[in-house]
Amino acid sequence: MTGFAYRDGEMHAEGVALSRIAREVGTPVYVYSSAMLRANYRAFADAMKGLDAEVHYAVKANSNLAVIRTFARLGAGADIVSEGEMRRALAAGVPADRIVFSGVGKKVSELRAALEVGIRQINVESRHELDMLDGVAGAMGKRTDIAIRINPDVDPNTHAKITTGKKGNKFGIDIDLAREAFAYAAGKPNLNVLGVAIHIGSQITDMEPYRHAIRRVREFVGQLRADGLDITRFDVGGGLGITYRNETPVPIDAFVGMVRQETGNMGCALSFEPGRRLVGDAGVLLGEVILVKPGVARTFVIVDAAMNDLIRPTLYEAWHDIVPARQPAANAEEIVTDIVGPICESGDFLAQKRTMTPLAAGDLVVVKSAGAYGAVMSSTYNTRPLVPETLVDGDRYAVVRPRQTYEQLIGADRVPAWLE
């Protein structure tokens, strides 16, 4: 009864028919499976047994409080990139000392907020940030633990927009400049330089780039120790890919096993920062077909879920599997269609030239593997209310973010006095 599967001809999330959620909550709507969230987390936890390591869930992938709390209950920490994400992690029950703050452009106010609650570690990405953080900590009479994110210059073989650890990316400090940066940090009175952090990219399906990066870090840590620094933490980042179409993801136990082997004699506590791998396949976006428009060149299936609800196809040319909620007959004919939203842009599509069984107005469609970077990247473009989210657990489900009302959406604007 786990995950998403057809039962009695209807797509279910665990024990709940998606048609029921569509009826009761309306569409478009995100649906998450608790069982899959837990199974994904446990795969990490099991693989890490005996290792001095923690999972800091990258909450940017799906920052709904119910999702974060599901992981927090299992012992997860959080990787955050903004004060907002910090507030979410805390509200969801992640202890402050299990929160790691990453990000290339943290503001003074955000650093202050992080020090106020006493988070575990700040991953610093530039010399300027070292100065800022040292100043903020000093003014508060505190000393803070940091890691420095380095850019190891490896190619993770993924989409350019989610490659982060190659020369020329804005993230981290170039490995060639990093030794100097660590020495500089060590001279700061309010910083406690404990670790090295990397994050080489996202949707990575090959283990070798990680291995290369880790070997570089291992050698680099040796240099830092020769310089007299006491490095005790290594944050390997996130980035593990999932199957959207036909990718073969790296098994979690093989990945953790590789990290265990490569870091065996490093003497560092490890941090993993998975996002997508924990939530991606645990969520779907459910939409309803508004109409079908046959054309000369193409047939368009127009659904009520659009690029404002799921922007990945538009932004990264991402492929998401789309299936009807009602199971098609095994021998049903298939046609080639575009599945698009109602938004006034040609870039508004969920799938192009997709071969699938024909759809008709009123049919429900299930956009799969949408649990990561789906709802969190949604917007209200075309004044469409923010998409709601639901969480299934066995035979029950709950709305974990209601659909925004028009009042909330439009009522948030203010007309200045001079226009009244």
Q: 351: Cβ–Cβ under 8 A, 6 or more apart, which residues?
A: 313, 319, 320, 322, 337, 338, 339
Q: Is the dihedral of CA 195, 237, 171, 174 positive or negative?
A: positive
Distances in Å between the alpha carbon of 365 and those of 11, 235, 343, 387? 10, 39, 17, 15
41/373 with CB nearer ligand LLP: 373
Kindly give the pairing relationship between strand 144-151 and strand 191-197. Answer: parallel
Q: Which of 253, 210, 246, 252 is nearest to 369 (CA)?
A: 246
Question: Rounded to the nearest whole angstrom, what is the least distance from the CB of residue 377 to ligand LLP in the complex?
Answer: 6
Question: Rounded to the nearest whole angstrom, what is the least distance from the CB of residue 33 to ligand LLP in the complex?
Answer: 18
Give buried/exposed letters for 396-412 (b at 16+ CB in 10 A, else e). Answer: ebeebbebeeeeeeeee
Distance CA 98, CA 73 (A): 13
DSSP for 194-226, written as a single string: EEEE---BSSB--SHHHHHHHHHHHHHHHHHHH
317/395 with CB nearer ligand LLP: 317
Question: Rounded to the nearest whole angstrom, what is the least distance from the CB of residue 399 to ligand LLP in the complex?
Answer: 24
Question: Rounded to the nearest whole angstrom, what is the least distance from the CB of residue 198 to ligand LLP in the complex?
Answer: 9
279/302 with CB nearer ligand LLP: 279
Question: Rounded to the nearest whole angstrom, what is the least distance from the CB of residue 202 to ligand LLP in the complex?
Answer: 3
**100 three-state secondary structure:** strand
Which residues lie near ligand LLP (CB under 6 A)?
58, 60-61, 79, 102, 162, 199, 202-203, 237-240, 273-277, 312, 316, 372-373
Question: Rounded to the nearest whole angstrom, what is the least distance from the CB of residue 380 to ligand LLP in the complex?
Answer: 18
- Angle (CA) 156 157 162, round 5°: 70
Distance CA 226, CA 289 (A): 63
Question: With the CA atoms of 11, 16, 18 and 23 taken in that order, what torsion angle do they form, in degrees rounded to the nearest 10?
Answer: 150
Question: Rounded to the nearest whole angstrom, what is the least distance from the CB of residue 85 to ligand LLP in the complex?
Answer: 11
Half-sphere exposure of 417 (CA within 13 A, CB side): 0
176/317 with CB nearer ligand LLP: 317
**364 three-state secondary structure:** strand
Task: Tell me, yes or no, if 344 is annotated catalytic.
Answer: yes
288/309 with CB nearer ligand LLP: 309
Q: What is the CA radius of gyration of the chain?
A: 23
Q: Where are the beta strands (DSSP E) in 46-142?
A: 53-58, 77-80, 99-101, 121-124
Kindly give the pairing relationship between strand 121-124 and strand 29-33. Answer: unpaired
Instruction: Give the pair of three-digit tokens for residue 104.
Output: 């290339």
Instruction: Give the pair of three-digit tokens for residue 138.
Output: 């000093």
123/263 with CB nearer ligand LLP: 123
Question: Rounded to the nearest whole angstrom, what is the least distance from the CB of residue 155 to ligand LLP in the complex?
Answer: 16
Instruction: Give the pair of three-digit tokens for residue 408.
Output: 């909330």
12/276 with CB nearer ligand LLP: 276
Catalytic residue among 344, 412, 415, 419: 344
169/299 with CB nearer ligand LLP: 169
Catalytic site positions: 344
